Structure formats: structure tokens, C-alpha cells
């Protein structure tokens, strides 16, 4: 697996978000990056607090972290925090759990009043706006100090590339996972498929989906679909992956690339598979897609690692294979350093914790959360679950689907939803892509 060197690739900076735009971006879209943590209506603190955020008493520097992992994965977060606090006596970390949307709603106000967190967990979708406001500060000095901090060398290179702007690295990897294809092993076997049939190309994936699609009574409505593909919401992650795999692009460095011959060919192929071959129902959102898979009526679903526990809850036997290509959308959450860190001691405390978080031993523990590790040197047999070991093989190919943009995600997502929904109804693909290109470019440039 490819691991990063100490120098990272620069991604160009784009225009800042306004405060209003930042609030609009919350939409919990990054908590889809945040995984299956779920929302909580009240904030809770984990571990003992040895003082207020940023305070130093009796030689101990205290820092406060915010995150949205509120279920079993939150217990693993707290376990690693407790391990850090027990490992040394110079720093003390306290964590607060809250809804992902609450993190966005409260951050700017809390920083202004001086009682905000020293670091927060979120995806890269809101980062540029906060950077331009001064709410997030560079962590380049962490990466430059190669003597004190050692674990940065083992982190996947792609995780650093997507939080680098104007030559400065702003985030430290917290939790990442590639979106992958989860499949019902019973339906797979019933279709006569074996491990030898795991697809390595998009055409092969389409053939597998057709084999798993069953219309027993021939009425035109399959009893079992090969794939559960949402088309009414949450399409950006999936569409970006399809388009990249077909040799095209989606949005990179803040520029839209939807209207291209490669994307036309890819979307027309997908349209045919849905409209004519009926590999997926239409008119479903991501929740309905998970329910269809959970009901045993879909053979495959493209999803994040929370699909593992979802399938378990439905009693569905499932396994996973990587998206057939070298680019897939990824779950990506980071530790972001905030403007509360205005002393060297606070920065040192955060950097020590981040380096500890990404250490070999703690990343093995992190796999208990059903997330693969952020580094590529941990053998699969050391991970908490076999399926996470399989999933970890694809982490180096995971990317944030809309890099280098500070535009409003809900506006762009709405256009993508219209594009996919219309295509799945048989609409003219070249015209749909041209329209989407024009509207999304307007949002990106606005």
C-alpha cells in the first residue's frame, strides 16, 4: 500500500464561505463522512476534566475536543482519549459528543466567546470556509516537526492531499474509509457467483448486477434487484465514483467537469442498466436503499462502513469488495485545530494527541469502531474484524468527492439529485449533464 512521504501535494484555494453559507453546509453531509455515529440532542463529556479548555494548572495543559460519534464508535474514541491521558502527565484531553449539525451551529459562536473547542472532528467539506474566517488554523508545524512527531509518516498520502491548501496542511486524519460494495453472500451464491466473479471493471460490475437481478414472474418488476442505487438524494458520492471510474471527473480543485464525452458514456451505461436491465429500483433515497438491502431484496449496495452494522441488524449475511477502479469516494473526518489554540502549549497538546491517535497501537484499537486504520502498515489479522481488514485494502483509493470547493454543498447536491433522478427516468443524458454543468459551475463560482 502507498504511504505518504512528508511532503504533500498542494490543492488550490478557492473563495471563502460566508457565515450563512457555512451554516447551510451543515446538513449533516459531513456526518455521512462521520459515519454511523448518529445524532444526539445533548452534548456529553467523556473522561475527567482537569480544567477548562486551554487552561494550564500544575503543569498540565488541558484541551477540549468536539466530535459527533455518539454510538459504539464514540466509545472507541473515548477509549483512545483515555489511553492518551494515561500515557503521560503533561496534557489532558476532554471530549464532548454532540450532533454533527450542532458542531457546525455552535462552533463560530463558541470561538467568539472564548469557550470553543481546541479541535473538532468534521469532514473537509466545511474546511475552506472556516480557514478563510480564521476559525481553523494551519497544522503545518506539526508536519514539519519530523523529530517530535513520527506517526505522520505512516498515514495514507491521499488523506493529507485533500486537506492541503496553498501549501499548508490544515487537518490531521481522524477516521477514514473507502465507500465500497457490500454484497449479500446468500444472493451472490444463489446467482451462481463465486470469488472469481468479484468485478474489477465497471462492465463486469454491471454483469454481476444483472445476474443478481431476479424477476421470477416476468411482470417487469424484479423481486430481487442486483443493486440498490439511490436516485432521489445523496447522489454526489456515488455519481462522482461512477464518473471517475469511467475515465471522467466530477468536481476537482473547485472546478466542475461533468459535461464530458467520458461522463456521457458512463451515465448512459448506468441509465441502460437501470432503465432497461432493471438492476435497481428508481425513486429511492439512501435510507430506502439500505432498507432494500436489509430486506434481502438487493444483492449489492455502495456504502460506507456503517453498512456492516446495518446489515447485521437486519440479519443479512454480507461481505465487501472494493469499488472496481483506483478512485472511490471516501468517508473522511479530520481533527481540525481551531483559533482557541493561541499558545504553544495548547498546540503541543493537540499535536501530541493527534500523533498518539494515529500511532500503530491506537489505530489497531480504532478498528473496533468498524473503521479501517488511517495507516497502511497494520496487518489485516491485527484488526478487530475480518471485514475491516478487507475494507482497509481500499483506503488508499478513497477521496473527498468534491475537492477544493467552499461552495454550498446542499445546492450542488440538489442539482446532482435532479441529474441522476432524471437520467434514471430515461432523460437525455448529454442535455442533463450540460445543464448540471452550467448550474453547478455557477454555484462553484458564486
pLDDT in tens, 157-182: 999 999 999 999 999 999 989 999 99
Rounded distance between C-alpha atoms, residue 114 and residue 108, angstroms: 10
Q: Are residues 171 and 36 in the same domain?
A: yes
Going 332 to 333 to 339 to 341, the CA torsion angle's sign is: negative
C-alpha cell recorded at residue 287: 435510507
Give the C-alpha distances (Å, rounded to integers) separating 415 from 66, 125, 395, 446.
Answer: 32, 17, 28, 15
Which residue, 229, 240, 235, is CA-closest to 290?
Answer: 229
Residues with Cβ within 8 Å of residue 427, at least 6 apart in sequence: none
Q: Are residues 278 and 425 in the same domain?
A: yes
Rounded distance between C-alpha atoms, residue 64 and residue 42, angstroms: 17
Give burial (CB, 10 Å; 0-12/13-18/19+) of 195.
Answer: exposed
Q: Over pLDDT 90: what percentage of the chain?
A: 78
**Does some domain include residue 162?**
yes
Task: Give the per-residue pLDDT at 128.
Answer: 87
Check pLDDT > 70 for residue 352: yes
**Does some domain include residue 13?**
no
- 279-325 confidence digits (pLDDT tens): 999 999 999 999 999 999 999 999 999 999 999 999 999 999 999 99
Q: Are residues 347 and 379 in the same domain?
A: yes
Rounded distance between C-alpha atoms, residue 233 and residue 276, angstroms: 22
pTM: 0.84
SS percent in the chain: helix, strand, coil, step 5: 45, 15, 40
**Does some domain include residue 402?**
no
Q: Are residues 280 and 319 in the same domain?
A: yes
Q: Are residues 35 and 71 in the same domain?
A: yes
Q: Are residues 55 and 136 in the same domain?
A: yes
Q: Are residues 284 and 312 in the same domain?
A: yes
Q: Name the more confident of 261 and 33.
A: 261
**Does some domain include residue 363?**
yes
Task: Give the per-residue pLDDT at 24.
Answer: 31
Q: Are residues 321 and 337 in the same domain?
A: no
Q: Over pLDDT 70: what percentage of the chain?
A: 87
Q: What is the CATH number of the domain that holds 27?
A: 3.40.190.10
Q: Are residues 35 and 134 in the same domain?
A: yes
Task: Give the per-residue pLDDT at 10.
Answer: 26
Q: Are residues 291 and 364 in the same domain?
A: no
Q: Are residues 287 and 436 in the same domain?
A: yes
C-alpha cell recorded at residue 98: 454532540
**Does some domain include residue 172?**
yes
Residue 33 and residue 126 in contact, taking contact as beta carbons nearer than 8 Å: no
Among 375, 395, 415, residue at a domain's last position: 395
Q: With bands split at pLDDT 50, 70 and 90, how would you rate the model's confidence at 140? A: very high
Parent domain of 26: 19-176+331-395
Q: How many residues does the chain have?
A: 446
**Does some domain include residue 381?**
yes
- Indicate the helix (H) or strand (E) that contains 416: helix 409-424
Number of domains in the chain: 2
Task: Give the per-residue pLDDT at 11.
Answer: 25
Instruction: Name the average pLDDT for the chain.
Output: 88
Q: Are residues 254 and 384 in the same domain?
A: no
Amino acid at each position: 500500500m502507498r504511504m505518504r512521504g512528508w511532503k504533500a501535494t498542494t490543492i488550490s484555494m478557492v473563495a471563502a464561505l460566508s457565515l450563512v453559507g457555512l451554516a447551510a453546509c451543515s446538513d449533516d453531509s459531513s456526518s455521512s463522512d462521520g459515519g454511523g455515529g448518529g445524532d444526539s440532542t445533548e452534548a456529553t463529556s467523556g473522561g475527567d476534566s482537569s480544567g477548562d479548555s486551554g487552561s494550564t494548572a500544575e503543569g498540565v495543559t488541558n484541551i477540549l475536543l468536539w466530535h459527533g460519534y455518539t454510538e459504539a464508535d464514540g466509545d472507541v474514541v473515548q477509549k483512545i482519549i483515555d489511553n492518551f491521558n494515561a500515557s503521560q502527565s503533561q496534557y489532558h484531553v476532554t471530549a464532548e459528543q454532540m450532533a454533527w449539525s450542532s458542531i457546525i451551529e455552535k462552533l463560530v459562536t463558541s470561538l467568539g466567546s472564548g469557550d470553543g473547542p481546541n479541535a473538532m472532528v468534521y469532514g473537509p467539506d466545511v474546511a475552506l470556509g472556516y480557514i478563510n474566517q480564521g476559525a481553523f488554523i494551519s497544522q503545518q508545524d506539526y508536519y514539519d516537526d519530523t523529530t517530535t512527531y513520527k506517526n505522520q509518516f505512516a498515514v495514507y498520502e491521499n488523506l493529507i492531499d485533500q486537506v492541503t491548501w496553498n501549501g499548508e496542511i490544515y487537518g490531521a486524519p481522524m477516521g477514514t474509509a473507502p465507500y465500497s460494495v457490500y454484497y449479500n453472500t446468500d444472493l451472490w451464491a444463489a446467482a451462481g457467483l463465486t470469488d472469481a466473479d468479484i468485478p474489477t471493471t465497471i462492465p463486469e460490475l454491471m454483469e454481476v448486477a444483472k445476474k443478481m437481478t431476479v424477476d421470477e414472474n416476468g411482470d417487469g418488476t424484479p423481486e430481487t434487484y442486483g443493486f440498490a442505487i439511490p436516485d432521489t438524494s445523496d447522489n454526489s458520492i456515488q455519481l462522482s465514483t461512477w464518473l471517475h471510474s469511467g475515465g471522467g471527473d466530477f468536481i476537482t480543485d473547485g472546478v466542475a467537469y461533468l459535461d464530458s464525452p467520458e461522463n456521457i458514456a458512463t451515465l448512459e451505461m448506468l441509465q441502460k442498466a437501470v432503465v432497461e436491465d432493471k438492476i435497481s429500483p428508481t425513486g429511492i433515497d439512501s435510507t430506502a436503499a439500505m432498507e432494500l438491502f436489509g430486506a434481502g431484496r438487493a444483492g449489492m449496495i455502495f456504502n460506507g462502513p456503517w453498512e456492516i452494522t446495518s446489515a447485521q441488524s437486519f440479519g443479512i449475511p454480507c461481505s465487501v469488495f472494493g469499488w472496481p477502479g483506483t478512485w472511490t469516494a471516501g468517508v473522511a473526518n479530520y481533527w481540525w485545530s481551531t483559533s482557541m489554540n493561541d499558545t504553544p502549549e495548547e498546540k503541543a497538546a493537540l499535536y501530541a494527541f493527534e500523533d498518539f491517535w494515529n500511532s500503530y497501537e491506537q489505530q489497531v484499537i480504532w478498528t473496533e469502531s468498524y473503521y479501517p486504520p488511517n495507516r497502511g502498515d497494520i496487518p489485516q489479522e491485527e484488526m478487530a474484524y475480518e471485514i475491516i481488514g478487507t475494507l482497509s485494502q481500499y483506503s488508499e483509493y478513497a477521496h473527498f468527492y468534491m475537492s477544493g470547493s467552499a461552495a454550498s454543498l446542499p445546492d450542488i447536491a440538489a442539482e446532482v439529485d435532479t441529474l441522476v433522478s432524471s437520467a434514471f427516468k430515461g432523460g437525455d443524458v448529454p442535455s442533463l449533464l450540460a445543464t448540471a454543468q452550467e448550474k453547478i459551475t455557477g454555484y462553484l463560482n458564486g
